Amino acid sequence: MTGVVPVPGDAPTSTAGPVLVIGTGLIGASVALALRERGTEVWLQDRDPEALSVAVERGAGLPRPAAGEPALVIVAVPPAAAPSVVIEVLRSTVNATVSDVVSTKARLQREIETSGLDASAIARFVPGHPMAGREVSGPAAARADLFADRVWALTPSAATDLTRTRQVAALVESLGAVPVITSPDEHDRAVALTSHTPQVVASTVAAGLADLGDTGVRLSGQGLRDVTRLAASDPGLWAEILASNAEPVAGALDSLIDRLAAVRDGLRAGEAGAAAVRTSLEAGVVGHRRVPGKHGAAPVTWAVVAVSVADRPGELGRLFADAGATGVNLEDVRIEHAQGRPTGLVELEVSPESASSLADGLRTTGWDVRF
């Protein structure tokens, strides 16, 4: 049972409750709000009474009652606290299904399975990881639609009850998310490659710019912006995330360092190393085809219709209105800001066969089109 859970003809619109949400930060409160919107009874618990009361005031649910067992528990506490909270919940309930939202899965699963809990309790734990978040935190920032269209990984192990995995997958779908089921190890290796390594790379490439002169910095283009965008992330948060997936990330960095060293050595070898450099770049082209494009499909090469746009309010709006009037569907949009000039170049990406009609249509309405 690996892959995308098929969407049933009649997607569930409510989950049988009560659902207990432990930890009413951004993720927990957003889950609670979404469940309340769909009519599910929600209980809330947080060691911080302030966070709890904000969540209650926002209509995310009611404080957990002194007695009674929930049908399902979502543990949405910080990563370091998650193992002990999950173990405590499994211990203190008889039949509740328990899930979590920690961003790496193998370590937590190991801690649960070696906790001394009996097998029937361990089988009630369905580990989860919603691929959603915002730049802000806390229950005040929570939104019922935070998970809409987002992937939500579920990572049952051999010890996990399949029926309970289906139960959590249905809850995830009812939040508007897309459940993707994989194993804890495969999950951690995947996020090491697709999320954690890119973060480390962005940070270490950006760190290399620290001693570059102002003029040197002006010679950079969109490529540098793309590669270093993640480097602005919060170091404290990311140090924790990386530590929680230490060995898969370290292994991915081992391989990356080997590939970088092959390019470096090839460059230093001159003519004799040219083939090695080229082979490395070709491997990148092959790997790049695996990066999901639109709708998770294989990436397509779009045609680019570039338009020069003045830096004035409303110009982008006017451009997109005119582009919309051509009937061509825009696949992607990039704005490349010019260096030292008050204009930008907007790159409209469209299917190759519709590029000419978009370019012609925009020229007709007076745009400076470069195609």
Residues 297-336 that bind a copy of itself (CB under 8 A): 301, 304, 308, 311-325, 327-330, 332-335
> Which one of 3, 8, 49, 116 is in contact with a copy of itself (CB under 8 A)?
3
- 201 touching a copy of itself, by CB under 8 A: yes
* E strand residue ranges, 55-123: 62-63, 72-75, 97-100
> Which one of 10, 118, 214, 353 is in contact with a copy of itself (CB under 8 A)?
214
152: which strand partners?
Answer: 130, 179
Question: Would you say 43 or 147 has its CB closer to a copy of itself?
Answer: 147
- 158 touching a copy of itself, by CB under 8 A: no
Q: How big is the CA angle at 71 (ends 146 and 53), to the nearest 5 degrees?
A: 55
Question: Would you say 16 or 269 has its CB closer to a copy of itself?
Answer: 269
Question: Would you say 118 or 258 has its CB closer to a copy of itself?
Answer: 258
Residue 62 vs residues 85, 147, 337: alpha-carbon distances, Å: 20, 22, 49
| Cβ 246 to a copy of itself shortest distance, Å | 4
Region of 14-22, 50-58, 110-118, 147-155 interacting with a copy of itself (CB under 8 A): 147-155
Q: How many CB atoms lie within 10 A of CB 151?
A: 17
- 11 touching a copy of itself, by CB under 8 A: no
Region of 32-40, 79-87, 167-175, 222-230 interacting with a copy of itself (CB under 8 A): 222-230
Query: Interface residues for a copy of itself in 80-99 (CB under 8 A)?
Result: none
Q: How big is the CA angle at 3 (ends 151 and 350), to the nearest 5 degrees?
A: 55
Provide the angle, in degrees to the nearest 10, between the axes of the packed helices 26-37 and 162-174. 80
* Residue 366 region by backbone torsions, left for phi larger than 0, else alpha for psi between -120 and 50, else beta: left
- 8 touching a copy of itself, by CB under 8 A: no
- 366 touching a copy of itself, by CB under 8 A: no
Give the separation between CA 163 and CA 186, rounded to whole angstroms.
21
Question: Would you say 10 or 214 has its CB closer to a copy of itself?
Answer: 214
Query: Interface residues for a copy of itself in 278-297 (CB under 8 A)?
Result: 278, 280-288, 290-296
Query: Interface residues for a copy of itself in 39-58 (CB under 8 A)?
Result: none
| Cβ 161 to a copy of itself shortest distance, Å | 21
Q: Are residues 147 and 34 in contact, defined by beta-carbon separation less than 8 angstroms? A: yes
| Cβ 298 to a copy of itself shortest distance, Å | 10
| Cβ 321 to a copy of itself shortest distance, Å | 4
Q: Which residues contact 95 (CB under 8 A, 6 or more apart)?
A: 69, 124
Q: Is the dihedral of CA 262, 268, 271, 277 positive or negative?
A: positive
| Cβ 108 to a copy of itself shortest distance, Å | 16
Give the separation between CA 118 and CA 247, rounded to whole angstroms.
28
Query: Interface residues for a copy of itself in 259-278 (CB under 8 A)?
Result: 259-261, 263-264, 267-268, 270, 274, 277-278
346: which strand partners?
Answer: 307, 335
Region of 15-23, 63-71, 161-169, 258-266 interacting with a copy of itself (CB under 8 A): 258-266
3-state SS assignment for residue 62:
strand
Q: How big is the CA angle at 289 (ends 287 and 294), to the nearest 5 degrees?
A: 135
- 181 touching a copy of itself, by CB under 8 A: yes
